[in-house]
């Protein structure tokens, strides 16, 4: 430190703060928001903290300074976090005759309030589904719309509420549905629904989860008007609610005897407590077969992944894709799965 110039001393101090926060974020998935609500908020900043530490590593590397070890060691410790943010490998795409293609898509009410500058959104989503042909598709924030046909799907389960009973979650399937239901979350329109489908001689369970929303705008101008203290408080309370919802969901899931696929909008990142609890020992399709940034939400500041497809070890993940079609504030994701 004594040999560092004043600017580099300041840079090293900032680097040390970024390293400390990133190290702290590594334990967040193990801290229940009900008990550590304030710290849990830090999970949203993990992509930024990773990027800052990578930049500091490059900075010290170019200056040939041993301070590069500070960020390098911490990034190495949390190497799995890098895999949740960015996959350097190419996408896996195995065409297996037994593949089941599963899509998850938060359609944001089909843009009924013109949130995005895109016309004929329901028709374009229809065309998108017809082109991609998923065998099973889970919708969050679905709104009944005469332009949404879903003609390719003979079987469907929906759980709708709202003032006019037209908004909620839907799962559509090309395979017969032999059972279905909903896991109700108290004091909210959010829930988790499920279907049991029959493929060949197997009964498979598919969940569609929509956890409590953070209510954070993806629009930079609107976000700048938010009071930071109020924003943090709202986020803390939302994380507590999400924990309660995850516990209700897991209680239901743990009673199931079927091979299971989980889809949905968790409204939280892979660095969070609820993600760790819901994922358990299941496979994250993006981590197994995706590539690039795992961005599923159109947040302007940094790539954020809050939509997931998880499968238990009965399945092999043969492919994963995040589509860039922007008909919502979320991007659709699809996985190819086959039974082991």
Q: Are residues 126 and 67 in the same domain?
A: no
pLDDT at 47 exceeding the cut of 60 = yes
Residue 92 lies in a domain: no
pLDDT of residue 81: 78
Tell me which of 77, 112, 127 is where a domain ends. 77
Residue 326 lies in a domain: yes
* Mean of pLDDT values over 192-213: 96
Q: Are 194 and 208 in contact (CB under 8 A)?
A: yes
Residue 171 lies in a domain: yes
Q: Are residues 305 and 228 in the same domain?
A: yes
pLDDT at 70 exceeding the cut of 70 = yes
Q: Are residues 156 and 287 in the same domain?
A: yes
Residue 82 lies in a domain: no
Tell me which of 77, 111, 126 is where a domain ends. 77
pLDDT of residue 219: 57
CATH number of the domain enclosing 294: 3.60.10.10
pLDDT digits 0-9 by tens, 128-175 = 999 999 999 999 999 988 788 898 999 999 999 877 788 999 999 999
Q: Are 143 and 161 in contact (CB under 8 A)?
A: no
Q: Are residues 189 and 242 in the same domain?
A: yes
pLDDT digits 0-9 by tens, 6-40 = 899 999 999 999 999 999 999 999 999 999 988 88
pLDDT digits 0-9 by tens, 189-202 = 899 999 999 999 99
Q: Are residues 16 and 108 in the same domain?
A: no
Q: Are residues 56 and 111 in the same domain?
A: no
Q: Are residues 171 and 287 in the same domain?
A: yes
44: phi then psi, degrees, rounded to nearest 5: -70, -20
Q: Are residues 123 and 45 in the same domain?
A: no
Q: Are residues 243 and 306 in the same domain?
A: yes
Residue 94 lies in a domain: no
Instruction: Give pTM, 2 decimals.
Output: 0.93
pLDDT at 303 exceeding the cut of 90 = no
Nearest by Cα to 331 from 291, 280, 296, 299: 296
Question: Which residue range forms the structural domain that includes residue 23?
Answer: 6-77
Residue 304: HSE in the Cβ half-sphere, 13 Å Cα cutoff: 23
Contacts of 173 (CB under 8 A, 6+ apart): 135, 136, 153, 154, 155, 156, 195, 197, 206
126's tokens:
């229809």
pLDDT at 213 exceeding the cut of 60 = yes
Q: How many domains does the chain have?
A: 2
Residue 1 lies in a domain: no
Q: Helix, strand or coil for residue 301? A: coil
Q: If you write DSSP's letter for every residue of 102-151 in order, what string do you get?
A: EEEEE-GGGGTT--SS-SSHHHHHHHHHHHH--SEEEEEEEE--TT---T
Q: Are residues 68 and 105 in the same domain?
A: no
Residue 88 lies in a domain: no
Q: Are strands 333-339 and 315-322 parallel, antiparallel or unpaired?
A: antiparallel
Q: Tally Cβ neighbours within 10 Å of residue 301.
A: 11
Tell me which of 44, 77, 110 is where a domain ends. 77
> In the structure, what pLDDT confidence band is assigned to residue 217 with cuts at 50, 70 and 90?
low
Q: Are residues 104 and 240 in the same domain?
A: yes
Residue 90 lies in a domain: no
pLDDT of residue 222: 55
pLDDT at 182 exceeding the cut of 90 = yes
Q: Are residues 259 and 118 in the same domain?
A: yes
């Amino acid at each position: 430190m004594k040999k560092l110039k004043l600017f580099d001393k300041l840079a090293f101090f900032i680097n040390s703060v970024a390293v400390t926060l990133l190290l702290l974020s590594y334990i967040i998935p193990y801290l229940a928001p009900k008990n550590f609500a304030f710290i849990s908020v830090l999970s949203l900043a993990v992509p930024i903290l990773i990027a800052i530490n990578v930049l500091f590593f490059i900075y010290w590397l170019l200056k040939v300074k041993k301070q590069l070890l500070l960020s390098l060691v911490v990034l190495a410790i949390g190497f799995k976090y890098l895999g949740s943010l960015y996959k350097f490998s190419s996408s896996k795409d195995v065409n297996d005759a037994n593949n089941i293609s599963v899509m998850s898509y938060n359609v944001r009410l089909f843009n009924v309030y013109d949130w995005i500058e895109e016309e004929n959104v329901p028709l374009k989503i229809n065309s998108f589904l017809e082109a991609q042909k998923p065998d099973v598709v889970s919708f969050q924030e679905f709104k009944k719309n005469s332009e949404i046909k879903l003609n390719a799907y003979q079987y469907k389960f929906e759980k709708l509420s709202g003032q006019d009973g037209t908004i909620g979650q839907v799962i559509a399937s090309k395979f017969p549905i032999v059972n279905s239901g909903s896991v109700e979350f108290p004091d909210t329109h959010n829930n988790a629904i499920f279907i049991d489908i029959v493929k060949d001689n197997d009964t498979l369970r598919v969940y569609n989860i929509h956890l409590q929303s953070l209510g954070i705008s993806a629009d930079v101008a609107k976000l700048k008007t938010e009071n930071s203290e109020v924003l943090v408080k709202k986020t803390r309370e939302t994380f507590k609610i999400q924990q309660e919802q995850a516990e209700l969901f897991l209680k239901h899931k743990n009673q199931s005897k079927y091979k299971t696929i989980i889809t949905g909008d968790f409204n939280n990142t892979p660095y969070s407590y609820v993600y760790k609890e819901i994922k358990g020992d299941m496979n994250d399709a993006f981590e197994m077969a995706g590539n690039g940034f795992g961005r599923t939400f159109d947040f302007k500041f940094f790539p954020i992944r809050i939509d997931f497809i998880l499968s238990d070890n009965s399945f092999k993940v043969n492919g994963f894709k995040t589509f860039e079609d922007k008909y919502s504030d979320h991007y659709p994701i699809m996985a190819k799965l086959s039974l082991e």
